[in-house]
Amino acid sequence: MSDQNPVFIPGPTNIPDRLRAAMHVQTRDHRAPDFVETFAPVLEDTKKVFGTTSGRVITFPASGTGGWEAALCNTLSPGDKVLVARYGMFSHRWIDMCERHGLDVQLIECPWGTGAPADKFEAALSADKSHSIKAVLVTHNETATGVKSDVAAVRGAMDAAAHPALLFVDCVSSLASMPFEMDSWGVDIAVSGSQKGFMLATGMAILGVSDKALAAMEAATLPRTFFDFKDMMGANASGGFPYTPPLQLIYGMRESLKMLLEEGLDNVYARHTRLAEGVRRAVGAWGLELVAQTPDLYSDTVSAIYVPSGFDSNALTDQAFNQYGVSFGVGLGEMNGKAFRIGHLGSLTDVMVLSGLATIEMAMADLDYPIELGSGVAAAQEHFRSKTGAAIKSAA
Amino acid sequence: MSDQNPVFIPGPTNIPDRLRAAMHVQTRDHRAPDFVETFAPVLEDTKKVFGTTSGRVITFPASGTGGWEAALCNTLSPGDKVLVARYGMFSHRWIDMCERHGLDVQLIECPWGTGAPADKFEAALSADKSHSIKAVLVTHNETATGVKSDVAAVRGAMDAAAHPALLFVDCVSSLASMPFEMDSWGVDIAVSGSQKGFMLATGMAILGVSDKALAAMEAATLPRTFFDFKDMMGANASGGFPYTPPLQLIYGMRESLKMLLEEGLDNVYARHTRLAEGVRRAVGAWGLELVAQTPDLYSDTVSAIYVPSGFDSNALTDQAFNQYGVSFGVGLGEMNGKAFRIGHLGSLTDVMVLSGLATIEMAMADLDYPIELGSGVAAAQEHFRSKTGAAIKSAA
Amino acid sequence: MSDQNPVFIPGPTNIPDRLRAAMHVQTRDHRAPDFVETFAPVLEDTKKVFGTTSGRVITFPASGTGGWEAALCNTLSPGDKVLVARYGMFSHRWIDMCERHGLDVQLIECPWGTGAPADKFEAALSADKSHSIKAVLVTHNETATGVKSDVAAVRGAMDAAAHPALLFVDCVSSLASMPFEMDSWGVDIAVSGSQKGFMLATGMAILGVSDKALAAMEAATLPRTFFDFKDMMGANASGGFPYTPPLQLIYGMRESLKMLLEEGLDNVYARHTRLAEGVRRAVGAWGLELVAQTPDLYSDTVSAIYVPSGFDSNALTDQAFNQYGVSFGVGLGEMNGKAFRIGHLGSLTDVMVLSGLATIEMAMADLDYPIELGSGVAAAQEHFRSKTGAAIKSAA
Amino acid sequence: MSDQNPVFIPGPTNIPDRLRAAMHVQTRDHRAPDFVETFAPVLEDTKKVFGTTSGRVITFPASGTGGWEAALCNTLSPGDKVLVARYGMFSHRWIDMCERHGLDVQLIECPWGTGAPADKFEAALSADKSHSIKAVLVTHNETATGVKSDVAAVRGAMDAAAHPALLFVDCVSSLASMPFEMDSWGVDIAVSGSQKGFMLATGMAILGVSDKALAAMEAATLPRTFFDFKDMMGANASGGFPYTPPLQLIYGMRESLKMLLEEGLDNVYARHTRLAEGVRRAVGAWGLELVAQTPDLYSDTVSAIYVPSGFDSNALTDQAFNQYGVSFGVGLGEMNGKAFRIGHLGSLTDVMVLSGLATIEMAMADLDYPIELGSGVAAAQEHFRSKTGAAIKSAA
C-alpha cells in the first residue's frame, strides 16, 4: 500500500512529520539528569489534556489495554464488584478483563449504538445499599460504534445515589481530540494511549489518576509489578523509571503536547468536530445511517456507518484497501459485516478527510452501492467551506 | 501549512518516505571505495530512464537550470547560432540563457498552449544551407502551459532537412514520468533534475549526453569549470567527483531508480496518464479549458487550466493555500492571473489527486466560480474506478 | 549532551541508522493483510536468535520487566514455589516480582559477582521430593555485575535431580549478543526485550516459550489479560494482535533480524567477545578489578568494574557525563558507589569502544585515580589490532 | 563501513541529528508565502557568520566550486588580470578555474605548507601602477595542507599598495569554524559551502558579497545565468528564487544557524581550537610533523600530517578505512602519498576526536610506524582534560 495515502482507521492515527522526527531520537541515558528535565514537564502538561489539576499522570510502556489492567490491579481486589455497561467491543473487552482478574461484574447490557446509561447506573447504585460496588467503568468513546458517552451524567448518577464507588473511564480514543474534564466529572482513573489523539506510535499507556484512586491502592490485593502505580510514582518523583522507559515515546509525547497546546485544546476539539461533521454530512448524502443512535451520541473521532441491507461491510473495506490503498476501520464484534468505520482523529485536515470520502465512494460504487459518486464529497465540501478561519488549514 | 497535505505544484514533487529515508544518510567519505560502488550503477540505471544505451549520464550538484547551462557551455561557442521556439516560460528562459551566453538565437514565436513546431523547424533548418545553426533547443514538457511537445517529430524535421545541428531537449518535468526515448529520437543532450519524476529533493541536475555532443566539446569555447563535462566524466570514470558530490541525493537517486524500475517504467508512465486523465475529466466537468490547445499536446505531468473570464487565477491559488493549506501551481509569465496549474507527477495516487480536486473546488466555490462542488471529483472518480488492476493502489 | 557521542550504558544501546529508519515508518493499518506478511516472518526469524525450533516466540508492547510478568502469570498460580538465586539487581527484581504475585520463593543468596549456582540448585531440587518447586528462575546475564551464568549447567542440575520444574531464563541483556541455546539448554521461557542486542527502541518484550510452558498455562491461575499468551498466540495465528500492536517496533525488529542474520549470529557473538575483551584488557591496564569473580563468568555485553577503595563510582560516572557528555552505567544496588559499568553490546565498533575507554580515563584522571592516561586505550588497541578480518570494521 | 563511526575527512562533516532532521522536510511550495518567512532570516543570520553588516549573502544550489565560479563570472571579464598565490590543491584549483574562464592569472608560487604571502602581494600590487589587477584571490584555509592564511594581512598589503582590486576569499573550510571578519578584513567576495562548518549536506554554495563587488557586476562580461547575482538578489528580494531552490538545505541552514548562534560563534571557534590543539598534541607525541610550517599557519579545522620517510600515506588511510571503518583525508596533489589529513571541524566532540586518534594509531602500528600505541591519545586527553567548562561536553 502507498505510504502516501492517509489511514482512516480510528487509531493509530496518521503521524505528523514533526512527531515522527521527535520520536526518531538516538538512545540517551535514561538515568542521566537531562532525562528528569524532559520527563517531569511531560507529566505536568499531560494533566492539562486530562483536565485535572488535583490528579496525577502515570504512564507505562504498554498499549491502552495495559492501561486498563493497571487501573484494575492497583485499586481492586479479587471478588470486588464492578458496575459496567456493555454497548460495544471496547466496553466488552473491559468486562472480559474484569472477569479474568476475578472481579464480580454487575453487567448492564445496552444496545450497540447507545452509550453509558446514566439512569440505569443510578438505579443500580441506589440499590447497592451496602456499597459493594467498588468501581463504575465507562467507555467514554466506544470506538466500535462511534458513540460518545456522557461521563458527566454518570458522575451525576453516582452523586445522586451518593455512592462512593470509584469512576474509571476509558478515554483511549477520545483524549486529546474531544473535551475531557477529569476533575469536574469526578473521574478517578482515566485510561488513554499514545497512538490516538496524541498522534504518536503505539506503546505508551497514559493514565490520569485521582487521589481517591491512589488511596484505594493500599487495600487492593490484585497482583501487580510491571503496572504498579507506587513503583512508578516513586521512581518518577526523582525523575526515573522503575525499568527501562520508552524514551522515544516520551520525547514524542513532549512534542505532541507542544503541538496540542500551540494549536490550543479548544481549537483541537473544534477541528475534530468540524471534520466529524463533514463526514456525517457525507453519510447523510449517501443515504446511509450511523450506528450511533442519536446526535448527542455522535463521536467526533470515529463514525461507524451501517452499510445498506444486503451488503457486506468487510467487502467494502477490502475493496478500499485492495483497489485504492486506503485503510478504513472494519466493523467489530456485533457490527462485523454490518458497519464500517471512518476514523477522523489526530493530525488530520479537511483535505485529507475529503480524500477518504472520495475513496470510499469509489469502493461503494465498485460494489454497486446505491450512491452517487461525489455526493458525499460535495456535502462535506459544503460544510468545510462554510467554516472559515485561520485554524482551518493546519492539521494540528 | 500542514505537512500532511500533498502539494500539487508541478515539482518539486511529494517525496515518498522511502526516498526521504534514502536521503537521510549520514556523511560518508566520497573518496572511499564504497562510493564508487554506489555511484557507477546509478549512472548506468539512469540511462534506462533516458532511453539510451549509447549515451552517457552526467550529473551536477545544481538545479535543472544549471543542467541547461552545462549543455550550452560544453558544446557551443560565443556567436554560435541556436534555433529555438518560444511557447512558454521555460522555453523562454532557455532563450534568455542563450542570449546571456552570447549565442545567436534564431527564434520562432509560437502561441502559448502549442508545442515545438516541427514544420517551422524544418523550414528554418532547410533554409540554413550553411549549417550555421549549431543546435536546436526543445522543451519537451512546457511546465508553464502543460504542453508536451513531439520530440520525435522535431528529429524527423531535422532529418528531413538533413541538418547536422545538435538536438537539446529540456525534459526536466517529463523524465521518469512520461516516455522519453533519447536514442530513438536522436537527442544529443537531455536535461533533467532530481526533484520531478525522480521524486527527490532539488539539487541534482541530470543530463543524458550523446557521443555527438561529446565530440562537440573540443571546439566549444564557452567557459566552464563547475559544469565541465570532461572533468566530471574523468572523475566519474574512477568513481570520483571533481569536487564534493551531493552524497545524499546520490543515495536518493539510487533508491529512486529502484522504485521506478520495480514499478516498471511502462507502469509509471501509465499511472501518470491515468492520473492526468482524471484531472482532465474534472476540468471538463467544471466547464473549464486547458491551456494546451489539442489533446495530442496534453501533458501527463501538469495541467494548466484557464480560469473563467473575469476571475484571477492568483486569487484562486492563494485561496487554496491560505484557506485549505494546499499548494497549486500559479500561472507563469503570460499565463499569470489567467491560468492555474495542477501538478500530477511523481509519487502520487488516485486518492491524493482526488484530494487536490476537492480542494480546488472548494476554493473556486469560495470565489464564486460557476462550478458545482463535487462535480470534478465525481468525473475523476468515474475515471479512476473504470481502471482496475494491481498497480492502482500503489504510488510508485 | 551531545547526540554524537555513543552511550556506554548496558542498554538501551546505540541504535544504528538503519534501524532508526526502519522504526520511522508512518502508521499503517495493523488489520490489513500486509501486516500479516510482515509479522509472521519476524516471529519465525526470532526463533533462530533464541536457538529454538520447537518453541515459539511471543511479543508484547512492554519492557523486559513486562516480559517477566508474562512468564510468571501464564504458567503459575498463587502459592506456587519457585527456586531462585539472588546475585545481582536483576535477579533481585525477579524475586521481588514473584513475591508480589503471591509466589513462594525458595531463595538462594549468592555473593554479587557470582552466577547461578548449579550445584545448590541441584541440591535444592533433589531435596524437593514432592516436586513442589514449579519453576527455576535464572538471570543469564546479570546486568548489574557483568556476570554471565551457565544455563546449561542449571539444566544439568535439573536433569541430575530428575526434577520436572520449568526453567525460566532472563536473557534481556544477553540475547542477540551472546550465544543462547533455548532448545539444547531446555529453557521453557526465555525473556528478552527490544532495546539490547536487537538495538531497537525500548517497548517490546520478546519471549521464547516451550511447549511445556504452554501446557502449564491451563492450570495457571495468576490473573492475566494484557500479558495472556493464549490471546496473543490466537491473534498472531491469523496475523493479528489482541490489541494495538507496536508497529514501529515490529518493523524495526524485522530489520534488526536482517542485520543480525546478515552479519551472522556467530560473527555477532565473536564481535561482542572481541569488544568485551578489549575493555577487560583496559581494566587490567588500569589495575582495576571486575566485579565478576572469575573469567568463566565474564559477560561479553557489560563489564562492572570496581573503583579503587576510597573512590565513589557515582562521582566517576557523573564526571564522564557532565564533563565529557558520555553516559556509563552506574553501580546498582550493592554496587552503588563501588562499581561503574561499561556497556559494550549492540551496534558497536572497536572505534566506539576506544572512545569510551579514552573518556573514562579522562574522568578518572580528573578525579585523581591512580591510572595513567592512555594506558587502557593502548591495551585495548593492542587487542583490537591483533584481531584481523573483514568483520572488524562493521558494527553489525 | 559502519555508519556509527565518525568521519575525519575535512568535510563534508559529521551531520548532527538535529540537522539531519531539519533537512528531512517534505516538499513545500517554494512560491508560497511561508517560504519567504523562512528564507529571509536565513540570509540575514548568515551575515553574522561572515562577519558582515554591510554586505549581503547570496546562495546557489551548487558546491563551493560553483560558488567560486559565481564570484568570478559576476565581477570579471575575459582578459582581466587576477593575482593569486598557489600553496595547495585548492588555491591551485581556483587558478585553474581562472584560466579556463579566460582570466589573466598573475601567479605567485609558494611552498605547500605556507600561506598567502602578504609581502609578495604587496610588492605585486605596488608594481601594478595601472591597476590592471582586478582581483586578489586568497584561500583562507587551504584544506590540502592544513594552512590558515592571514587575510587581514593581505588586506593590509592591498591598503599599503593603495590598490583598488577586489579581494576574493575562499573560506569553504573555515567559515563557521574559525573567525572570519568580512567587513574588517575588507573582503569583497567570500565563498563557502553548506557541508563544512555549517554541518549540512553538500549542495549549497554560500557567498558573502560586498557593495564594491556588486558594483563590479555592471562591467563584468563573463557569461552567467545560473550563477547570476542580479537574478538571485532580485528574486530573493521578494522571497523567491530564480529557479527551484534547494529547500531541504535552506531548512537545514536555518537550523544550523540556530545551533551556531545558540552555542555562540566565539564558543564554536574556541571549541575548534581546542579540538585542533588536541590533534596537534597527538602529532607531537607520535613524533610526526605537520605540513603547515609554523604555528601561526596551523588550521583549526584540518591538520595535514607528514608520514615518516619511507611510508606511504595512502596505505595508512586505506588501512584505517579497510580495517577499522574510519575515513581520514588522503594527501592531495603534491602531498599525495606524503601526508594524511585529520579533519576536525563541524559537529565534533573531544570524545569523537579521541576515537579518531586511537584509530589512526592502530593503523600506524599495523603498518609498523615507529609510534607507541596510546601515546597520541594520551597527549590529547591531557589537553582536553586541562580545559574545563560547560561548553566541553556539547558538540555544537
Give every residue of chain C whose pLDDT is below 70, as ranges: 1-2, 387-396
Of B31, B201, B203, the CB nearest to D330: B31
ipTM over 0.85? The verdict is yes
Of C3, C355, C374, the CB nearest to D375: C374
Residue C344 in grid coordinates: 559494550
Write the secondary structure of chain B as one string of H (helix), E (strand) and C (coil).
CCCCCCCECCCCCCCCHHHHHHCCCCCCCCCCHHHHHHHHHHHHHHHHHHCCCCCEEEEECCCHHHHHHHHHHHHCCCCCEEEEEECCHHHHHHHHHHHHCCCEEEEEECCECECCCHHHHHHHHHHCCCCCEEEEEEECEECCCCEECCHHHHHHHHHHCCCCCEEEEECCCCCCCCCCCHHHHCCCEEEEECCCCCCCCCCCEEEEECHHHHHHCCCCCCCCCCCCHHHHHHHHHCCCCCCCCCHHHHHHHHHHHHHHHHHCHHHHHHHHHHHHHHHHHHHHHHCCEECCCCHHHECCCEEEEECCCCCCHHHHHHHHHHHHCCCEECCCHHHCCCEEEEECCCCCCHHHHHHHHHHHHHHHHHCCCCCCCCHHHHHHHHHHHHCCCCCCCCCC
Domain assignments of chain D as residue spans, ordered by start: 17-261, 264-386
Please give, rounded to a whole number of angstroms, the shortest distance from the CA of B160 to a CA of chain D.
33
C touches which chains (3+ CB pairs under 8 A)? A, B, D
β partners of residue D104: D81
For residues A38 and A239, give the distance between their C-alpha atoms in angstroms, rounded to a whole number.
9
Q: Which of C29, C68, C198, C232 has the highest number of chain A CBs within 10 A, making it the mutation to test binding with A?
A: C29
Q: What is the pLDDT of residues C323-355, one digit of tens each?
A: 999 999 999 999 999 999 999 999 999 999 999
Q: What is the pLDDT of residues A110-119, one digit of tens each?
A: 999 999 999 9
Residue type, D35: F
Q: What are B's interface residues with C at a Cβ cutoff of 8 A?
A: 17, 21, 24-26
Nearest-by-CA chain B residue for D97: B225
How many helices (H) and strands (E) chain A has is answered by 14, 12
Q: What is the pLDDT of residues A46-97, one digit of tens each?
A: 999 999 999 999 999 999 999 999 999 999 999 999 999 999 999 999 999 9
Q: Which of B24, B34, B347, B349 has the highest number of chain C CBs within 10 A, making it the mutation to test binding with C?
A: B24
Which of A107, B117, B352 is CA-nearest to residue D26? B352
Q: What is the pLDDT of residues C109-138, one digit of tens each?
A: 999 999 999 999 999 999 999 999 999 999
Nearest-by-CA chain D residue for C387: D323
Nearest-by-CA chain C residue for A5: C28
Q: What are A's interface residues with D at a Cβ cutoff of 8 A?
A: 17, 21, 24-26
Report the share of chain B in percent with pLDDT over 90: 93
H or E element that contains C362: helix C350-366
Contact predicate B247/B25, CB 8 Å: yes
H or E element that contains C248: helix C247-263
Residues in chain C: 396
Residue A387: pLDDT band (50, 70, 90) is low
- Count CB neighbours of B343 within 10 A: 28
Query: In chain A, which residues have their Cβ closer than 8 Å to the Cβ of B358?
Result: 351, 354-355, 358, 377, 381
Nearest-by-CA chain B residue for A395: B2
Q: What is the pLDDT of residues B165-211, one digit of tens each?
A: 999 999 999 999 999 999 999 999 999 999 999 999 999 999 999 99
Residue D242: per-residue pLDDT: 94
**Does C341 count as an annotated binding residue?**
yes
B touches which chains (3+ CB pairs under 8 A)? A, C, D
Q: Per the CB < 8 Å rule, is D21 touching A26?
A: no
Q: Per the CB < 8 Å rule, is A66 touching C330?
A: no
D touches which chains (3+ CB pairs under 8 A)? A, B, C
Residue B387: per-residue pLDDT: 59
Residue D2: per-residue pLDDT: 54
Q: What is the pLDDT of residues A188-230, one digit of tens each?
A: 999 999 999 999 999 999 999 999 999 999 999 999 999 999 9
Give every residue of chain D whose pLDDT is below 50, as ranges: 1, 388-396
Of D21, D25, D26, the CB nearest to A24: D21
Residue type, D51: G
Please give, rounded to a whole number of angstroms, the shortest distance from the CA of D350 to a CA of chain C.
7
Residue C391: per-residue pLDDT: 41
Query: In chain B, which residues have their Cβ closer than 8 Å to the Cβ of A365?
Result: 381, 385
Of C23, C60, C321, the CB nearest to A32: C321
User: pLDDT by residue for chain B (396 residues), tens digit each?
Assistant: 357 899 999 999 999 999 999 999 999 888 877 788 899 999 999 999 999 999 999 999 999 999 999 999 999 999 999 999 999 999 999 999 999 999 999 999 999 999 999 999 999 999 999 999 999 999 999 999 999 999 999 999 999 999 999 999 999 999 999 999 999 999 999 999 999 999 999 999 999 999 999 999 999 999 999 999 999 999 999 888 999 999 999 999 999 999 999 999 999 999 999 999 999 999 999 999 999 999 999 999 999 999 999 999 999 999 999 999 999 999 999 999 999 999 999 999 999 999 999 999 999 999 999 999 999 999 999 999 975 443 444 443
Instruction: Select from 3.40.47.10, 3.40.228.10, 3.90.1150.10, 3.40.190.10 the CATH code of C265-386.
Output: 3.90.1150.10
Q: Per the CB < 8 Å rule, is C28 touching A3?
A: yes
CATH superfamily for B264-386 is Aspartate Aminotransferase, domain 1 (3.90.1150.10)
Please give, rounded to a whole number of angstroms, the shortest distance from the CA of C17 to a CA of chain B.
8
Of C29, C78, C202, the CB nearest to A244: C202
Residue C2: per-residue pLDDT: 54
Residue A144: per-residue pLDDT: 96
Q: Per the CB < 8 Å rule, is D351 touching C326?
A: yes
Residue D396: per-residue pLDDT: 38
Contact predicate D315/D367, CB 8 Å: yes
Query: In chain A, which residues have their Cβ closer than 8 Å to the Cβ of B374?
Result: 374-375, 377-378, 381
CATH number of A17-261: 3.40.640.10
Please give, rounded to a whole number of angstroms, the shortest distance from the CA of B165 to a CA of chain D.
23
Please give, rounded to a whole number of angstroms, the shortest distance from the CA of A92 to a CA of chain B.
34
The Cα angle at residue A59 between residues A53 and A60, in degrees rounded to 5: 165
The annotated binding site of D for substrate is made up of 341
- Count CB neighbours of D119 within 10 A: 10
